[in-house]
C-alpha cells in the first residue's frame, strides 16, 4: 500500500491535501478549504477526485464540499457535524474505516476544537490527517469542547507510532514556536524553533510534522511537565491552552 500526498497552500494559512492510492489510482482530498485551488491542483497532477474526507465542519475545512461534489461527483465522508455546511454522503465516527482503493483510513475521534472533529489515520503508510487538532508546536483552539476532551484526543494521537507523518491543516508554526519558547526552555524546542523561523523566512512549509517530533517539543503535549504544580494532566493542558489564548507575543 502506498499513499502519495500532495500538499498545497489554500486561503491565508490553510493547507489543502490530495492523497492518491497508488494501487488503484483513486484520489481523496482531505478537507475542502478552497474548491478552486483544489481543482487547480487536481488538474496539475492529472488526478480525478473520488472522495472528500472532512475532519470537521468549519468553513475553511468543509466550505468547498458542495462545489467540488458538483464538479467531480466525489463522495463526501465526514462527522455528522459537517451537515451544518454540506451533508456528508456517509457519516463516520470513532472506529470506522474508510477505504480509498487499497488504502484503509481509520477514523479516530479527536473532538475538542469542534465536538465532532475526527482524524483519518492510514496505519500501513503511517500517515495521519489531523485537521485542527494537533499542529506543529501547537493544537487547535477549544471552540466547542473542553480541555479534558481535547487532552483525551491528543492522547489518541500520541499513541500512534512515533514515525507517523502528521499533516496538520494550517501553517501556524512560527507563531506557535514563539509561544512555545515563552513557556518551555527545552534545548530541543529551541533548536527546532530556529529551524522553523529559518524555513519560514525561506518561504518553506513546516508541515508535515511527526508524532515523535511533537511528543518531544510540543508544549501542549508536554503540558504536565511544564506545569508540575497542576496534578491533573488535562488541567495542566488546559492551563497551557489558556496561556496561549492570552499570548500576545
List residues near Fe ion by CB under 5 A.
Answer: 60, 132
d(CA 33, CA 17): 10
Segment contacting Zn ion by CB under 5 A, of 50-58, 146-154, 208-216, 240-248: 50-58
* Active-site pick, 21, 31, 58, 122: 58
CB 233 within 8 A of CB 154: no
Bridging pattern class, strands 97-100 and 90-91: unpaired
> To the nearest whole angstrom, how small is the minimum distance from the Cβ of residue 163 to Fe ion?
25
**Closer Cβ to Fe ion, 32 or 193, answer by number:** 32
Task: Return the C-alpha cell found at 165.
Answer: 507523518
**Closer Cβ to Zn ion, 21 or 31, answer by number:** 31
* Active-site pick, 31, 109, 170, 184: 170
Residue at grid coordinates 456517509: 90
**Closer Cβ to Zn ion, 126 or 146, answer by number:** 146
Per rule CB under 5 A, count of chain residues that contact Zn ion:
2
Would residue 170 show up in a list of annotated catalytic residues for this protein? yes
Would residue 89 show up in a list of annotated catalytic residues for this protein? no
> To the nearest whole angstrom, how small is the minimum distance from the Cβ of residue 85 to Zn ion?
12
* Active-site pick, 31, 34, 61, 125: 61
Residue 34 touches which of Zn ion, Fe ion, none (Cβ within 5-8 Å per kind): none
**Closer Cβ to Fe ion, 60 or 81, answer by number:** 60
* Active-site pick, 31, 34, 122, 132: 132
Site string for Zn ion, 51-80 (x = CB under 5 A): -------x----------------------
DSSP the chain: --EEEEEEEETTTEEEEEEEETTT--EEEE--S-HHHHHHHHHHHT--EEEEE-S---HHHHTTHHHHHHHH-PEEEE-GGGGGTS--SEE--TT-EEEETTEEEEEEE--SSSTT-EEEEETTTTEEEEETSEETTEE---SSS-HHHHHHHHHHHHTS-TT-EEEESB--HHHHHHHHHHH---HHHHHHHHHHHHHHHTT-----EEHHHHHHH-TTTTHHHH-TT-SSHHHHHHHHHHHHHT---
Site string for Zn ion, 124-143 (x = CB under 5 A): --------x-----------
* Active-site pick, 31, 34, 109, 113: 113
Would residue 117 show up in a list of annotated catalytic residues for this protein? no
> To the nearest whole angstrom, how small is the minimum distance from the Cβ of residue 217 to Zn ion?
23
> To the nearest whole angstrom, how small is the minimum distance from the Cβ of residue 214 to Fe ion?
18
Interaction of residue 81 with Zn ion, rule CB under 5 A = no
Q: Which residues bind Zn ion (CB under 5 A)?
A: 58, 132
- What amino acid positions are annotated as catalytic residues? 56, 58, 60-61, 113, 132, 170
Amino acid at each position: 500500500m502506498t499513499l502519495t500526498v500532495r500538499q498545497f497552500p489554500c486561503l491565508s494559512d490553510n493547507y489543502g491535501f490530495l492523497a492518491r492510492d497508488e494501487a488503484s489510482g483513486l484520489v481523496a482530498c482531505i478537507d475542502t478549504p478552497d474548491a478552486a485551488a483544489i481543482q487547480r491542483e487536481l488538474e496539475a497532477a492529472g488526478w480525478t477526485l473520488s472522495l472528500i474526507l472532512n475532519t470537521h465542519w468549519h468553513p475553511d475545512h468543509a466550505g468547498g464540499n458542495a462545489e467540488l461534489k458538483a464538479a467531480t461527483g466525489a463522495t463526501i465522508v465526514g462527522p455528522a457535524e459537517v451537515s451544518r455546511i454540506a451533508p456528508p454522503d456517509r457519516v463516520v465516527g470513532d472506529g470506522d474505516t474508510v477505504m480509498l482503493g487499497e488504502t484503509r483510513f481509520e477514523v479516530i475521534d479527536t473532538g475538542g476544537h469542534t465536538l465532532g472533529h475526527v482524524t483519518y489515520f492510514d496505519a500501513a503508510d503511517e500517515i495521519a490527517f489531523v485537521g485542527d487538532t494537533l499542529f506543529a508546536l501547537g493544537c487547535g483552539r477549544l471552540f466547542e469542547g473542553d480541555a479534558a476532551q481535547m487532552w483525551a484526543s491528543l492522547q489518541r494521537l500520541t499513541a500512534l507510532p512515533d514515525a507517523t507523518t502528521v499533516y496538520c491543516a494550517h501553517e501556524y508554526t512560527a507563531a506557535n514556536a514563539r509561544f512555545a519558547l515563552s513557556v518551555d526552555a527545552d534545548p530541543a524546542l529551541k533548536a527546532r524553533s530556529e529551524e522553523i523561523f529559518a524555513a519560514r523566512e525561506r518561504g518553506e512549509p513546516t508541515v508535515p510534522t511527526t508524532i515523535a517530533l511533537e511528543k518531544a517539543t510540543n508544549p501542549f503535549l508536554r503540558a504536565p511537565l511544564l506545569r508540575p504544580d497542576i496534578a491533573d494532566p488535562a488541567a495542566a493542558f488546559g492551563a497551557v491552552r489558556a496561556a496561549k489564548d492570552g499570548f500576545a507575543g
